[in-house]
Chains A and B, each alone.
Chain A
Amino acid sequence: MSFLIDEGKNIQHVLMGNEAIVRGALEAGVNVATGYPGTPSSEVIEAFSKVARKRNVYVEWSTNEKVATEVAAAASFAGLRSLCVMKQNGVNVASDFLLHLASSGTRGGMLLVTCDDPGALSSVNEGESRLFARLLEMPLLEPGDFQETKDIIRWAYDLSEKIGIIVMLRSVTRLSHASGNVRFGPLPETAARAKFTYDGPLLDPVTGPMISMIPARPEPTHGRQQEKLKLAKEMFETCRFNTYTGPPEPELLIVTSSICSLYSREAVDVLGLGQRVGVLKLATTWPLPNKLLTKHLASTKKVLFVEEVAPTLEDHVKVIAAESMSEIGAKTFYGKKSGHVPSVGELNPDIVIAALSRLFDVPYQPVPPAFSEKVKGLAERYAPVRGIMFCPGCPHRASFWSITSALQLDARQGFVCGDIGCYALAAFPTGFSTNKTLHSMGSGSGLASGFGKLKQFGMDQPVVAVCGDSTFFHAAMPALANAIHHRSPFTLVLLDNRGTAMTGFQPHPGSPTDVLGDPAPALDMEKICVAMGAKVVVSDPFDLEKTRKKLNRLLESTEGAKVLILRQACALSPERRAKKKYEITVDEDRCRGENCGCNRICTRIFGCPGLIWDREKKVSRIDDIICTACGVCPDICPAGAIIKKEVS
C-alpha cells in the first residue's frame, strides 16, 4: 500500500511533485488516469497504479499520448473526472486530438498534465508545451511548489467542470522530480457512475453529441470556446494561487511562474533585495489575468521575466503592457530578449542572482575567488568524467555490434536511422556511433521509408531503421505500413527488450501484463509485421554471428521492407536479474593484452562496464559484481581468452 492514500487529520509527507499531482487528483476524486511513459512524467501513472484498486481508479499505460488523451476524454464525456499525463513531446503527439477536444469541450473535469524538461536533462529536445495552451485555446496552470501542486489540482477540476473545457497543468523536471512537504486534505467517497448522454440537441454541451465543429460553421463551438476562456480569465483575476511578495512599489518587478518562482525568491533573499524587488508568481499563465497584471505593472517601472525555455510570459505580458500603456506608462523589460536570462537551458538560483546583481549593480561573490580556482583545479585532476553508456549486459550493445559489423561487411556506406529509447545512445561511442539520425518517436522508420525511395536519384546506400518494442506500437507501425505499401527497401531492426526500458520498464501492448500486473493479451509483433506484408526474421542479439549473417542477407535483398526482430530482455528486467546463466572468466595466459593486435577490442571498443582493463597485469578482467553474464564478450575476443561456462 502507498502512503499516498493515508487518511486522517494533519497528515503530512514529503512528496515528489509527481506524487503531489496524484494526491491532488485523488482528493479531487479522479476516476480515470492514463499516460505514456516519458521522463520526467512517468511516476504519475506508476503512483496511480499502486492505489488504483483501493481508490477505484482505472489506470492504463496507453499505446501513445494521443490515445491516452482520447481514453481519458471518454471518461470525461461520460461524466467522470479524468487525467492524462505525458512529457512535453507527448503533447505534440496528442495535439491533433487536443485541438478538437478543446473545441468540443468536456463534461466531467479533465486535466492534461504535461511535464516539460527544460535543459533536456532526460530528453533529446528542449520542448515547450505552454504554447499549446494558446494555440489550442485552453486554460493553463503552472503550480510553483509542492503543496500548491497538490492543492491546485482540485481547483483545476472545478474550473474544468465550471466552464466545460480541458485544463492543462504544466510541471517541469525540477518540480516533478523534486520533493517537498505536502499537507494532505480529505479523500472523497468513490462511487462515480459513468454514462454518456448524447440524445439532446446537436450543439447542447450537456446533453448532445460531443463534436468538435460543424463544417463551415465555426461560430457556435469556436465562439463558445472563446467565451469559456473569458470565464477562465475572470476566475484567474482572483485566483489564490497567483501571489505577490515584496514592497507595494518595487523598483523592479519579477514576473515568474512554476519552479522559477522559487529561484526568484531565493535570489532576492540572497542579495538582500527584499525591499526593492517584488516577485509576482503566476499560477494561471494562459489566458493571463489582465487586471491583476496591469495593477502590478502600474506599481513599477522595470520588469524582469524569469522563466524557462520559450519567452512565453515575456511575450504575453508585453502585449498587456502595450495595451494599457496610456494607463500605466512605459516600462523597461528585462528577460530572455534583453539577454539577462539565457534563452536555452534550465534556470537555477545563480542565474537569477546574476541577473539581479547586474540590474542593481550589487556585487555577488559566494566563495573567495582563490578557493574557487583551487577547487576547480582539484576537480579537473581528481574527478574523471563519467560518460554515459549502455548498462552491463545490455542487449543493445550486442545488437549494435552486429548492425555495425553487417554494414561494414556490406560496404555500400549503409547507415542507421535512430529512434527514441535507450538505443538513442547508439549515436554515441557506447553504441559504436551507429545511429546517424535521431528525432522523434517512430521517426527512424519514417525517415528510412523515405531514404529507401531515393534510388531513382542515384542513392544506393542500404538503409536500416531501429526501434524498440514500445516505440513500435507508439509510432513506428504507420511508418512501416507506408514503407511496405510503397515498396521502400529498408530493414527495420526491432529491438525487442520486452518493456519500455528507458523509463522504468512499463508494459506496452506487446506485454503479457498491464499496469497493475494483471494478465493482458500480448500483441505479437512478429505476426503483425508478417500480416502487414514484411519479410520477418527473428534473432537473439546475444548470438552475434547468426544475427550479423541474418542482417547481411536482409541487406542484400532490395525488394521491399524487411523486419529483423532482435529479441532479448533488458538487463534490468526481473527475468535477467534473477539468475546468471554463465560464469565468465578471462584466461590470463591466453589474453595477449596490448600485444594481441586486436587493439584491446574488448575493453576499448566493446566497452561493457563488466569488462575491465587490469593495468597491473596488462590483461582484461571480468568484474564479477557488475557482469550480468550475457555471454557475448567471449565471441568478440580473437584470442579466445574470454571463457564462458554454463552455470548448472
Chain B
Amino acid sequence: MSAAPLAKDPYNIIITGVGGQGNVLASRLLGGMLASKGYLITIGETFGVTQRGGSVMSHVRVSCKAVASPQIPRGMADVIVSLEPAEAVRVMAAYGNPDTVILSNTQPIHPPGVIKGELDYPPVDEIKEAVKGIVRSFIFLDATERARSLGNPILANIVMLGALGGLAVVPFDRDDFKQALALRMEPGQVPINLLAFDQGYGMVKA
C-alpha cells in the first residue's frame, strides 16, 4: 500500500501529559491508525517508576520513506498534542519551533510542589497567552470537561486524539479509529471511546 505524501517527512507529533493520563494509549492508537494507511511509524516513549505522576511524552513519527529514530531531534516537532497545559510549554521549549502547531487541553494537573503549597501553578489564561506569543497555530480546548460530560474524565486523551483528527495534519478518521480500537480494547469499551473521539473531532472541525 502506498501512503499519501506528508506535509513533511518524517512528520513529527508529540503527545505529552502527566503519567496516568493515557498518552501511551493515545500514541499507540494513533500509530496503529497511520500504519494501517501504509505509513512507517515509530513511537518513542518512556515509562516506568520515574514517570508515575511525572511529565511523560510519546514521540510519534510518520514517514512514507524510512523508519525514523524513536526520538525527535530538538526543535523539530510539527504538532504537540498536550493533555495538560503546562506540559505543552515544557515540551515546546525542547522540541518546538515557530511553526509547531499546539493542540492543548486546558485542565491543569498540579505537580507535588504545587499541592504542597511550595510552588505556584500559573493561571491557565497566562499559559495560553504565552503560547500565543510564540507559535502561529494553537488550539486550546477543555477536553477533560468534555470527557467528564461523557461520564469519565480519563477519556480526555481520546477527545484530544479526535481533535487531532479534526486538525487533519495527518490523515485518519473515525473509521480508522474504530479499527484501531478493535485491536486494543474490549468490544464493550468501543462506543464510549468513539463518542469521545467524535466530541474532540467536532470541537476542532467546527
Contact = CB atoms under 8 A, between A and B. Distances in A.
Nearest to A572: B52
A497 B121 CA distance: 34
A607 B70 contact: no
Contacts of A178: 42-45, 70
B60 to A, nearest CB: 9
Nearest to A263: B69
Interface residues of B, number: 60
B89 interface: yes
Contacts of A263: 69, 71
B52 A375 contact: no
Given A391-B53, A607-B112, A179 B86 contact: no
A350 B72 CA distance: 9
B97 A366 contact: yes
Nearest to B180: A14
Contact of B46 (A121, A384, A385, A625): A121
Contacts of A39: 47-49
B115 A611 contact: yes
B43 to A, nearest CB: 4
A366 B75 contact: yes
B116 A383 contact: no
Contact of A270 (B28, B73, B89): B73
Nearest to A346: B71
A577 interface: no
A177 B47 contact: yes
Interface stretch (B126-134, B168-176, B191-199): B126-134
Interface string B109-124: 0111111111111100
Contact of A384 (B50, B67, B75, B86): B86
Contacts of A145: 67
A611 B116 CA distance: 8
Contacts, number: 182
Question: What interface size band does chain A fall in?
Answer: 35 or more
Given A39-B48, A382-B122, A367 B73 contact: no
B160 interface: no
Interface in B45-63: 45-55
Nearest to B134: A375
B40 interface: yes
A603 interface: yes
A557 interface: no
A625 B20 CA distance: 13
A541 B118 CA distance: 28
Contact of A259 (B55, B69, B134): B69
B93 interface: yes
B67 A122 contact: no
A367 B97 contact: yes
Nearest to A123: B48
B49 A179 contact: no
B52 A613 contact: no
B202 interface: no
Given A122-B48, A270-B73, A384 B120 contact: yes
Interface in A111-149: 121-122, 145-147
Given A180-B43, A384-B86, A607 B116 contact: yes
Contacts of B70: 174-175, 178, 180, 259, 262
A12 B116 contact: no
A387 B113 contact: yes
A381 B122 contact: yes
A502 B49 CA distance: 6
Nearest to A365: B75
Contacts of B74: 350, 366-367
B53 A388 contact: yes
Given A14-B31, A14-B41, A603-B116, A348 B86 contact: no
A146 B71 contact: no
A387 B111 contact: yes
Nearest to A607: B116
Given A378-B134, A422-B49, A371 B42 contact: no
Interface in A490-526: 502
A432 to B, nearest CB: 14
Contacts of B73: 266, 270, 348-350, 353, 366
The winner among A179, A388, A391 for most chain B CB atoms within 10 A is: A179
B155 interface: no
B35 interface: yes
Interface in A38-59: 39-40
Contacts of B127: 382
Given A14-B28, A386-B18, 5 more contacts: A121-B46, A179-B28, A180-B40, A603-B117, A615-B117
Nearest first, the 8 A-B pairs at minimum CB distance are A122-B48, A366-B75, A613-B117, A379-B93, A262-B69, A178-B70, A383-B90, A367-B75
28 contacts: A13-B183, A14-B32, A14-B41, A40-B48, A122-B47, A146-B42, A173-B46, A175-B70, A177-B44, A177-B46, A180-B70, A181-B67, A262-B42, A366-B73, A367-B98, A381-B130, A383-B93, A384-B111, A385-B119, A386-B18, A386-B54, A386-B111, A387-B54, A387-B113, A388-B50, A389-B53, A612-B110, A625-B153
Interface of A: 3, 12-14, 39-40, 121-122, 145-147, 173-175, 177-181, 259, 262-263, 265-266, 270, 348-350, 353, 366-368, 371-372, 374-376, 378-379, 381-389, 391, 422, 425, 430, 502, 600, 603-604, 607, 609, 611-613, 615, 623, 625
